[in-house]
A and B are shown apart, each in its own frame.
Chain A
Amino acid sequence: MGIAALAKPEREKVIALVGNPNSGKTSIFNDLTGARQHVGNWPGVTVEKKEGKLGYQGQTFNIVDLPGTYSLGAYSEDELIARNFILFDKPEAVINVVDASNLERNLYLTIQLLEMGANVVVALNMVDEARARNIEINIPRLAQALRVPVVPTVATRGEGIKELVATVAKQIQESTCRPLKVNYGREIENELDKLEQIIKQDAKLAMRYPARWLAIKLLEDDERLEAELQKEGSRPVLEAVAKSKKQLHEILGEEVEAIIADRRYGFINGLVKEAVIRHQTLEQRLTISDKIDSVVTNRYLGLPIFLLAMWAVFQFTFKLGDPMIGLVESAFESLKGLAAGWLEALGAPQLLTSFIADGIIGGLGSVLVFIPPIFLLFLAISLLEDSGYMARAAYIMDRLMHALGLHGKSFVPLLIGFGCNVPGIMATRTLESRQDRLITILINPLMSCTARLPVYVLFTGAFFTANQGWVIFSLYLLGIVLAIIMGKIFKTFLFKGETAPFVMELPPYRVPTLKGTLIHMWERGSSFVRKAGTVIVGVVVLIWVLSNLPLGVAYASQESLIGRLGTILAPVFKPAGFGTWEAAVALVFGILAKEVVVGTLGVLYGVEENGLTAAIAHSWTPLSAYAFMVMTLIYIPCAATIAAIRRETNFWGWTAFAIGYSLVLGWVMAVLVFQAGRLLGLG
């Protein structure tokens, strides 16, 4: 027990992590915090907030991982979050992760950080890769030019992390930060000086923002700040800005914003010229990444390779996941038995026993069986993402997705949806445009997930044994066609306006690290379990209550509330050919999870699952069975998907819309199928 331990603990210091996507920021975060991470949400938005703790010489630092951005404007949610955190939460230090092999572009963000007066330490990451490309960086020179410490790191191997931590700790103590000044040229500088003076006279503004930074941003047409100033009534500042802009436009003959960007890059180019030596090899050879790309993105080979990769992902997920699903099922089965036996032994009332065993444990089990495939799918996706292949997949699919009015990036979430809509919806996070993201989320439930398969197998087994495969295939195809049509409709009527331009980075291929990939998988998988869990429990309890009330009825019989509900709903489905109370109840239960439809029909017809085929063949027709399968495919997403939609859109309105439109569409399609079939004499 040293003296340090007796000293009064200081307030926890905050270190923010900022960097471009693909700069290795996540690796640095993992290196700094290890397993001590916490994932939450930024207030009011869907962007994830990752925090972690770092212990160093008796102090604890709170590390906040800000969203990966290329810039600190206010043009996306991510940028705004990062910018506001630095401005208003005032972290004691900011670690700016910079990709050494891509210095110019990365420094664009660094300059903006420095202009904000942040206490920056640059982690010059991937120095090994830069070296391999014959890029030699004079680190002291770079540090001198930026006037902040620069620490070389190789985050994937943990190199330089100790030095980084020591440097940051020292920087926090000394806290000698002098905002860097990029010279924007005489004309702009003159106006900046004027604006700075006017801003400083506005006490409220001057307290909130660094004056020079605000002046620059206002000249850059930052709508967000303009709106704020308008609201706060900072008229003199706004008027001065408008005057400056007009004057500069006259002198320079161009948008001020463009010139400011040019000067910034000019500053960076000068800096890079001084601090970086690029040894030119005699011949500019293609990098290894380019060589892989020449095969993987080839106009003829690209698509087959992509399909092969996806096939492999599905095989991996479901071949490996199936036995584990069995394990989870039997685990819940025995848990149910144990709980029931234990409660009965305690003399608990029958109703309570049923509530816990059938309701909570049974209901949760029916949804949680998806955990193994979800985790495996996330593992596979993490591997594809961390290796750099995902960006190529988007590139390949962009050509096809354009027909949909969507980006190549939207394809991957839709494809994942065939496995399970929940990770499919979560995978939309990689989409930058909110419109594209919402459309992709809304049409995702139309991708026929594996949970619908048991329903198809049951009904095709009863009626379409000769061409079972084709009938099932037709349902998958129907889902895709409807997704294309609905996507077009949403795009046209709900989300007018231009498509965001397609530009995206193709990061060099890398061998993913085991640690990074596992952390990735864990974050996504566990957040699904936690967040979806609450909604699922709610639905489970509701359905159980409806199945048991009024008191004394047999579980889920026609006399129970749910049975009565089924009886009321049945006529609605009459035009679709399955107007029985059993079918209606099965559909209601199907909201819990689509494959529950099968089990419910088993309970309602009072037969075990193997006797079900015969029972169905007896009371359905091939046409009504097909209409019912169409309904099962389209109507209301399952509880877990609803939870995912709510979580990812962060808005009940869109969730309700997804439920509503799919219900209407499902009913219309089922009726169309049945009535058209009857007209053709198939009924």
Chain B
Amino acid sequence: MSNGLLPLEFLSPGQEAVIKEVAGGMSLRRRLTELGLVRGSTIKIIRNDNFGPIIISLGNGTGSGRLAIGRGMAHKIMVEMVKEV
């Protein structure tokens, strides 16, 4: 799945990805922008139980920032995988 985009929701813990597109309205995008989730930002999945919110880290996990993202929102964030586990 080299160049394909997929929703953030489907990533597993440990995987890293780059945000390519946010398929939501402007208010959703604004909220994400404030929190540092914009196109081009790298994120790493810390936890994904396949139900409930997903925990991700900004960057490759070295920083301390952790965000919990609701599943509905994670469905609208399209990413490109950069590192498999």
Contact = CB atoms under 8 A, between A and B. Distances in A.
Q: Do A and B come from one complex?
A: yes
Interface of A: 70-71, 73, 75, 99, 101-105, 108, 129, 133-135, 221, 255, 257-258, 261-262, 265-266, 269, 278, 280, 284, 286-287, 289-290, 293-294, 297, 299, 391, 394-396, 398-399, 408, 501-508
A135 B58 CA distance: 14
Given A102-B58, A395-B53, A505 B33 contact: no
Contacts of B58: 102, 104-105
Contacts of A504: 67-68
B31 A297 contact: no
Closest 10 CB pairs between A and B? A502-B70, A105-B36, A70-B34, A506-B66, A399-B52, A101-B64, A71-B34, A102-B65, A261-B33, A299-B49
Contacts of B35: 70, 105, 503, 505
A293 B64 contact: no
Contacts of B28: 501
Contacts of B70: 398, 501-503
Interface in B14-67: 24, 26-41, 46-47, 49, 51-53, 55, 58-67
A501 B31 contact: yes
B69 interface: yes
Contact of B73 (A101, A286, A396, A501): A501
Given A70-B34, A108-B34, A108-B36, A293 B62 contact: no
B64 A129 contact: yes
B45 to A, nearest CB: 12
B72 interface: yes
Contacts of B60: 284
Given A135-B63, A265-B41, 6 more contacts: A105-B58, A258-B39, A265-B36, A391-B68, A395-B52, A501-B70
A398 B72 CA distance: 12
Interface of B: 24, 26-41, 46-47, 49, 51-53, 55, 58-70, 72-73
B29 to A, nearest CB: 7
Contacts of A129: 64
B26 A221 contact: yes
B35 to A, nearest CB: 6
A507 to B, nearest CB: 8
Given A297-B47, A503-B70, A289 B33 contact: no
Contacts of B36: 104-105, 108, 265
Contacts of A104: 36, 41, 58-59, 63
Contacts of B64: 99, 101-102, 129, 133, 287, 289, 507-508
A135 B62 contact: yes
A503 B73 contact: yes
A73 B30 CA distance: 9
12 contacts: A71-B34, A102-B63, A135-B62, A221-B26, A258-B29, A261-B33, A262-B38, A262-B39, A284-B60, A503-B35, A505-B67, A506-B55
B62 A133 contact: yes
A261 B36 CA distance: 10
A517 to B, nearest CB: 21
A267 to B, nearest CB: 12
A398 B49 CA distance: 13
A163 B11 CA distance: 45
